[in-house]
Structure 1
Amino acid sequence: MTYRSDVYVFDGGKPIPAIIRNYTESDFAAMIRLQAACFPPPFPAELWWNEQQLEKHVTLFPDGAICVEIAGEIVGSMTTLRVQFDPEHPQHSWAEMTDNGYIRSHDPKGNTLYVVDICISPKYRKLSLGKQMMQAMYQIVVEQKLNRLVGGGRMPGYHQYAERLSAAQYVQSVVNGELTDPVLTFLLRCGRMPLALIENYLDDEASLNYALLMEWKNPFMARRK
């Protein structure tokens, strides 16, 4: 299935045409440049997407590899894979679920769309591109008759409160609207719902290695596991 959606995004009150589409091999260099812009030093360059990972994305599950293009430039991307997921046993790490980003763990018969990565160029982060890509993935969930979309949300604001709040208390404060977290609040605005707090999800100093597993249930299959 090829995905393409022509939309307008807004910079203040100005509409800007954008394309949400699958990324392909011809986009690999631009995807790596995007990663460099999103994760500058001291973030280690070896942790950016490499061509071997991107090749796996577009061959193993091209439906789950999308990007946003504005004026011929790739300014955002989102990658997913299908997995068999049991919400009654949610504990896992990002590396385990995504095969360290190579997605060789992709299961064509999996019941769940799992988020590997989402990134947006710093210059374009006020245009709601992340929400546009998330909506595209929800459409894939519905089209492929999956039960849900699931992903681990980083908690980059947590380190500022860790001395006085447990991770669970921090999450509850964000859900209650008492605190704002750059990632968790964004995901809540996208319609994602908290599912489970995960320890040692990812080597992430700002989140103290925690993540909040969050889901969006297919409303046409909400009663299924």
Structure 2
Amino acid sequence: MYRKELFVFDQDKPIPAVIRNYEEKDFAGLILIQQESFPPPFPSELWWNEEQLTNHVTLFPEGALCIEVNGEMAGSMTGLLVDFDPKDPDHSWEDITDSGYIRSHNPKGNTLYVVDISVRPAFRKLGLGKWLILSMYEVVVQLNLERLLGGGRMPYYHIHAEHMSPGKYIEAVKKGDLKDPVITFLLRCGRTPVRVVANYLEDGESHNYGVLMEWKNPFKMNK
């Protein structure tokens, strides 16, 4: 199981934090993270529920991470294993994650797929999202998987959609000509774009597109 003690920083002030696997006793705190991260008008039925969380800690506990700051639950990240074929990459978030229930988890999969990452608004300037992603890279290495993969939203795409295809938008973000709050953040975390996928998730700002972003395991040993 995973546990890492570290310091995060509020400007120059170090604050103790712990990244660990979440458990059943954390469910109330995890649901609170969802409620604060996705407030109304986001539909409450899409927040984590106890059945989903039970599946996370039962089917793939290695992919269920949370971060505590000064002992307070501040963020979480969830993944599952899938057998990803780069030659057939198209999918939707709902299909590949089983709508967050992860009954699609494949213990023999080659890829750790990101289901969700959430940080409570009050903690968002502490770099917790990046720490969670870096910790999930360590899980990829530990399990000798090929990659971490997940679909990123493109929340600023709607501003440019009339004169720019989603592929050209991503190229502009990669060059630094445009900045996107999600894609730029994932680039800063070491993820690289693989493919733009249509109908990835219901998201008006992204025009329902998602960008598959991967981190390849540099230690992967082919058997």
State whether TM-score is above 0.5. yes
Aligned to 2:165: 166
Counting only pairs closer than 5 Å after superposition, residues 127-142 of structure 1 correspond to structure 2 as 127-142=126-141
Task: Say whether residues 1:6 and 2:1 are aligned partners.
Answer: no
Aligned AA for 1:206? Answer: E
Segments of 4+ in structure 1 off by > 6 A?
Answer: none
Aligned AA for 1:41? Answer: P
Find the residue that maps to 2:25 and give its secondary structure: helix
Aligned to 2:87: 88
Aligned to 2:116: 117
Aligned AA for 1:182? Answer: P
Aligned to 2:67: 68
- Cα distance per residue 1:118-152 (max 9 Å; x no partner): 01111111111111011111001111000000000
What TM-score, normalized by structure 2, do the two folds share?
Answer: 0.98
Shift of the alpha carbon at 1:164? 1.6
Shift of the alpha carbon at 1:189? 0.4
CA distance in 2 between counterparts of 1:147 and 1:159 reads: 33
CA distance in 2 between counterparts of 1:221 and 1:79 reads: 22
Aligned to 1:218: 217
CA distance in 1 between counterparts of 2:167 and 2:132 reads: 28
Find the residue that maps to 1:37 and give its secondary structure: helix
What TM-score, normalized by structure 1, do the two folds share?
Answer: 0.97
- Cα distance per residue 1:148-197 (max 9 Å; x no partner): 00000111111111112111111111011011111000000000011010
Aligned AA for 2:10? Answer: D
CA distance in 1 between counterparts of 2:165 and 2:122 reads: 33
Aligned to 1:19: 18
Task: Say whether residues 1:153 and 2:152 are aligned partners.
Answer: yes
Aligned AA for 2:80? Answer: L
Shift of the alpha carbon at 1:72? 2.1
Say how many residue pairs are matched. 223
CA distance in 2 between counterparts of 1:44 and 1:80 reads: 22
CA distance in 2 between counterparts of 1:195 and 1:213 reads: 5
Aligned to 2:206: 207
- Cα distance per residue 1:2-48 (max 9 Å; x no partner): 10000111111111110001110001011111101000011010110
Structure 1, unpaired ranges of 5+: none
Aligned AA for 2:205? Answer: A
